[in-house]
Structure 1
Amino acid sequence: MVCQNGCGYTPLHCRSGKRHSRRFNMASTFQETPTVEASYSENVDAKLSFLPERLRKKLLPFQEKGIVFALQRSGRCMIADEMGLGKTIQAIAISYYYKNEWPLLIVVPSSLRYPWVDEMEKWIPELSPDDISIIQSKTDTGRISTSKVTILGYGLLTSDAQTLVDTLYRQNFKVVVIDESHYMKSRNATRSKILLPIVQKALRAILLTGTPALGRPEELFMQIEALFPKRFGTWSQYAKKYCNARVRFFGKRTQWDCRGASNLEELHQLLSEIMIRRLKNDVLTQLPPKVRQRIPFDLPQAAAKNLNTTFAEWERLMRNLNSDATESHFSQVMNLITRMYKETAIAKNRLNPITMT
């Protein structure tokens, strides 16, 4: 629902008397997609019988619905569930349905490459380590042509990675998963330009993001264009219709300002055909009390050396911590525990902005 004053923003701002923000909060306007509900009365077990038994049993009802939503759209859609609702397992299930069309490309933030490997091996037991290739550098292309699954970090998609880019284009991936797809929000970013033809050419493409707009409808365009080229018109048409595009004057120079939002109800309706989004509040009764997850990542050589030294010191202190231990021994142990806690807290802090979905 938008403001009746015709401004295109939510009426909440008007009632509060606050100045209209340019920020477009997709979470406040886009609720769980209703289009799936009508056909969801069909037997879900029959629909998902293709899955490995362990994966099938793990799925929560709303995750089943997300998978069915994607399959009803021939494997081209955006899953925009709030962070922590299991977008990864849904994407794996959808990809598995199309396994006969692989090779599969998975593009992720660099810190999530190994968690994705763990998840793939966990839920698809027939995959062996040799079936999965993790791209380590811009010249690490040797196994791409022979691997069933290629996992690639965004950080390698740069203007000087022509060898890697050419290899990716030649591989002709039929199934593509783009994790944290809002990394493609910029039309001018090199990674967006590299990924766009790969996603468009794939038969199946699953985009995953917990922040589908990150504040402005303009940041949705590249993701939509990757899934369904020209479905929402050209960039110029989209910007004028949904981004409240206006010409700004900077001296003698003019520039389009596309940071606004307009025709949100229409945009919401169109998005509901290609995107499914659930918030935690929507599915709270289906969620387990707590989910613990191990997130492996590479340590730089210096950090690994420091960690080994810390563990060696820990072992030495614990060997000396017997009945004759003095207060000094206990103090050393506590100081070491505090130091180890701080070191792992740094890792958690760095990983937190890019949490596994």
Structure 2
Amino acid sequence: MRIPNRIFSANGFDFWANKVLLDWESRFPEDVLLRGRKLYKSGVIRSVELKKGFATLITQPREERYFILEWDNEIQIRSSHSTDDLQAFAVAGLYEIEALLAEYTMGFPQRDAHITSEGLPQVTHRRPASTTKLALQLSLIGEGLRLDFASKENVALDHREHLVRLSHLSRKAGFFKCGNGFLLSSPYRIWVFVKQHLPKWKMLFDLTVPESVEKLLRDPEVIRIQLDKVGSGLSVQATFLKKPIDSALQKHLLKAKDEWVLLPGHGIVRLAKEDQQVWQQLEGLDHVPLYLSINTPLERSEELEAWQRSLLDLDGTLLEKEHPLLRPYQIKGVRWIKHLLNHQCGALLADEMGLGKTAQILGVLSEMSLTKPVLLLAPATVVSVWETEAAHFYPTLNLRKWDPTMPLDSGIYVTSYSQARRSAKKLQAVDFQCVILDEAQCIKNPKSKIAQVCCLLKTDGRIALTGTPIENALSDIWSLFHFLMPGLFHQNVKALHEHANRVAFQQKIAPFVLRRTKKEVLRELPEKVEIAVPCFLSEKQQHLYSQWIESGKAVFGNTFEKAKDNRIHFFALLTRLRQIACDPGLVYPDRPIQQSAKWVMLEKLLCEGFQNGHKVLIFSQFLQFLLRLKPAIQKAFPKVDCFELNGKTLHRKVIVDAFQNHRGPCAFLISLKTGGTGITLNTADSVILLDSWWNPFVEQQAIDRAHRIGQKKKVFVYRLIATQTIEDNVYKLQHAKSLLSDAVIGNLSDASLLENHFPAVLQCLRPLQNVL
């Protein structure tokens, strides 16, 4: 006999399973039941579809008819043919639904298994109740809790009610069909089933329950993950009832997808998801450093707890030498770095520029007993500064400039980032005692070649120096800590947003960052006064600027909405606009310098400054602008010396020393990129920034060439800003970036801007149109 098509949703299955468990046959007269059973046995119904609230029945194609069976408070049926024996078809339909539920539960291949060929049972209005319980057995296997029929051959027609009940209850408990039986795979649902449902099942069915399942009635034990100190690293051990778990079961726990775990031989246990995630991260490391135990939810041994208490106790580290040339706060910095290195942690010295970070590192190096080489990486323009400062502060320190022809023995070697990039293979083959990064913002892009080279260096200790640990976004400091303390943050920089919560983020970095400002530690340092000087474009300059604006709109749209789709050309437009705002001659070389509103303002400032005997630093990012200004300054002030420093300067130190030793008023034209770091110009007392840069920290570095240790006078800083131009927006952007740095590093208490802070240039796209 043909088996009808069966279609059902989960909600529909559960709805009808609940209904047919009721004594529905008593709702029909005896003669209707007999006619309905005849229709059911004849196989006239060829399709059944169950939905929540109603079922659709379809008869054989030869006389195809549709029936809608509904059951709210009463059983109702509607047909596509008004002459049908609707009540009989309702009975046939309910039998067919019972068969669907029972066959799904048992997996019967044919309907003959539950309707015999000997005719209908001789009953009055209902089938006889089953005299025996359905025999079932439970077993605990690796995949979960399995439910089987004790003997499938003994299941007969009079068990149909039990089969329907079994189908309903098993689905409600979370079992699903698995071969000839059912499987409950979720450990948590297994525990709920044993605690809440098993007693009822024992009353309804002849249920065999092994001892291994009965034991699950106990509340699950919690798996503890404990960290212990082993040498300079950590060991990770999972324990059950305070006893270690073997490695095979540990692998099982590591792969678990739920907090509730069915652990072979131990029943159901619980492993906190956060514990498992930390455990998985640590298991993926060849060496687990001690600092990864900080701020984790895992349990720590007493020895590890003692190590952490020691880490926070700076008084436990003493200096072995005198440091007569260092100031008290610098000596504290030396102790702090030495303390972290002694505890196998990295150190980020983020003092404000001008506080002598170089001298502090030299102090740390003087404290070391060198058994292996120390590598110090710095921008090429700063390498000679290290040699000079070492000779001044610690003349006996064995610090040398390194090139690839030199062997690396137990000395201190300083070289440039570019040289390190070219010599990556040779340096990565050496086991260093310490690697130090000066101007560490050079590795802020974790995808850059130099960042990758630095992170792959083998070393016992790591130190980073920078006055600007965050220039654009939180990813800057991620890159620094990826070098300093691998694994402290997520391996993927995109996942760092998880730590945008101010408390969690700052708790994690606080022990390893030292940031002091001049206001805090140099009370004797003269005041710094910053003044924004508006420059109104000349008529010809304004005309050129407007022309470039209109050409930009023609390419990127009136509101510059297409800028993101063509960033390279958009950057070119921004550069041209900023150049014209400085000096039209940067775009049109035949234009005289007198058309520049900034030259007009600069001449006024220099005139006043020279008359008062000031030594003036003049910074610009545009080298061509400086080259055009020099003859103009020499012509306007023929009796005043004018120094120059840019990327083409060969004898940098000679020029710097000449300016430092010069008496009387003078000017020093400096390329922002070349002279913004690594030099001391504290005999200057005036700084003029000709053009605003996206990054305020680059400008701050330039200012701090003058406003630093040794400065005796008040320092005046003049920012020349071309009004009603892109420079207005750059200036506003600088303020936002300063807030970011202050939030994260300045006082380690406010990281509210982290998550939404985008890279600087892209941020400028949005507000640009308002100015243009």
TM (norm. structure 2) is: 0.29
Contact 1:133 1:144 in 2 (8 A): no
Q: Taking structure 1 as reference, are residues 171 and 356 closer, same or farther at Cα in structure 2, changes over 3 Å only?
A: farther
What is aligned with 2:418?
155
The residue that corresponds to 2:488 in the other structure is: 231
2:459 matches 1:189: no
Q: Residue in 2 aligned with 1:70? A: 337
Residues in 2 aligned to 1:354 and 1:115: alpha-carbon distance in whole angstroms: 10
Please give the per-residue CA displacement for 1:145-187, whole angstroms capped at 9, x wherever unaligned: 25722211123344xx2xx212212232211111011111111
SS class of match (2:643): helix
* 2:508 paired residue number: 270
Per-residue deviation, 1:208 = 0.4
Name the counterpart of 2:459: 202
TM superposition shift of 1:39 = 4.5
Q: 1:170 to 1:40 in 2, by over 3 A?
A: closer
* Residue 270 of structure 1: how far off its partner (Å): 1.3
Return 5+ residue gaps in structure 2 as ranges: 1-308, 528-633, 646-654, 656-667, 681-772
Structure-1 separation of matches of 2:418 and 2:526: 34
Corresponding letter in the other structure for 1:220:
I
Q: Matches of 1:152 and 1:89 in 2, distance apart? A: 17
- Aligned partners of 2:485 and 2:640: how far apart in 1? 52
Residue 406 of structure 2 is matched in structure 1 by 143
Give the whole-Å Cα distance in 1 for the aligned partners of 2:340 and 2:494. 25
State the Cα distance separating 1:349 from its structure 2 match: 4.8
The structural deviation recorded for 1:288 is 5.5
**Separation in 2, partners of 1:354, 1:213:** 16
The answer for unaligned runs of 5 or more in structure 1 is 1-34, 243-261, 291-330
Normalising by structure 1, what TM-score?
A: 0.59
Displacement of 1:347 in angstroms is: 4.6
Count the aligned residue pairs: 241
Structure 1 residue 351, shift from structure 2 partner: 4.0
1:353 equivalenced with 2:676 (yes/no): yes
1:193-217 deviation per Cα after TM superposition (whole angstroms, max 9, x unaligned): 111111xx21121110101111311
Change (3 A) 1:209 1:356: farther
Tell whether the 8 Å contact from 1:107 to 1:154 is kept in structure 2 after alignment. Answer: yes
Deviates more, 1:105-114 or 1:141-150: 141-150
CA apart distance, 1:281: 1.6
Structure 1: distance between partners of 2:452 and 2:324: 39
Whole-Å separation in 2 of the counterparts to 1:189 and 1:114: 25
Letter in 1 for 2:325: K
Paired residue type of 2:419 = L
Mapped partners of 1:122, 1:156: distance in 2: 25
Quick check: 2:314–2:339 contact (8 Å CA) kept in 1?
Answer: no
Preserved contact between residue 372 and residue 431 of structure 2 (Cα < 8 Å): no
Distance 2:407 2:445 in 1: 27
Counterpart amino acid of 1:113? V
Distance 1:342 1:122 in 2: 26
Aligned to 1:14: none
Aligned to 1:312: none
Write the distance in 1 (CA, Å) between the matches of 2:501 and 2:679: 33
The answer on whether the counterparts of 2:387 and 2:400 sit within 8 Å (CA) in structure 1 is: no
User: What is the deviation of 1:264?
Assistant: 2.3
Distance 1:132 1:65 in 2: 23
Q: Deviations over 1:289-336 (max 9, x none)?
A: 69xxxxxxxxxxxxxxxxxxxxxxxxxxxxxxxxxxxxxxxx99x847
Query: How is 1:305-344 mapped onto 2 (pairs within 5 angstroms)?
Result: 335=638, 337-338=640-641, 340-342=642-644
SS of residue in 1 equivalent to 2:519: helix
- 2:357 match: 87
Tell me the CA shift for residue 121 of structure 1: 2.4
1:11-26 equivalence runs, <5 A: none
Displacement, 1:279?
Answer: 1.3
> Following TM superposition, by how much is the alpha carbon of 1:61 offset from its aligned partner in structure 2, in angstroms?
1.8
User: What is the alpha-carbon root mean square deviation over aligned residues?
Assistant: 3.2
The percent identity for this pair of structures is 22
> Could you say which structure has the greater relative contact order, defined with CA pairs below 8 angstroms and 6 or more residues apart?
1
What per-residue deviation string (whole Å, max 9, x for no partner) do you get for residues 46-94 of structure 1? x22x23x4xx112222212212221221252110001011111111111
Amino acid at match of 1:202: T
Corresponding residue SS for 1:202: strand
Residue 191 of structure 1 deviates from its aligned partner by 0.4
